[in-house]
Amino acid sequence: MYPDAHISDPYLTLLILHENTTRLDLLALGRAMSNGQGLQSTSNMDIVKICALRIEPYSKDSVITMLDGELMPSGTFQAEVIPGILNVISGTKVV
């Protein structure tokens, strides 16, 4: 989970990788994410807090679409944060 994210915040964290992203950049990104370090926008990636998004690829073969590490069929995709719709129960504490 992104270090600044909290289950009660009304945002998604969108990571946008630019064309000039190298394999070394992806390796560093993976290492930072697995270590729980904060991510910073750079010249080859942007990190944006959003409440909703809609992605429309140029063609179904133009992009590889993944959601939380899972491969998805390419096509139009929408996501929206709906505050208060999720209850997380952990032990005896409700978040």
Q: Is 32 helix (H, G, I), strand (E, B) or coil?
A: helix
Question: Does residue 87 carry a pLDDT above 90?
Answer: no
This prediction has a pTM of 0.61
- Reported as a single tens digit per residue, the pLDDT across 49-63 is 899 999 888 776 767
In this structure, the dihedral spanned by the alpha carbons of residues 14, 31, 86 and 52, taken in order and rounded to 10 degrees, is 0
Confidence grade of residue 93 (pLDDT, cut at 50, 70, 90): low
Closest CA to 18 of 29, 33, 8, 7: 29
Distance CA 44, CA 57 (A): 20
Q: DSSP state, 25? A: H
The pLDDT score that the predictor gives to residue 52 is 95
Distance CA 54, CA 40 (A): 23
Radius of gyration of the chain (CA): 15
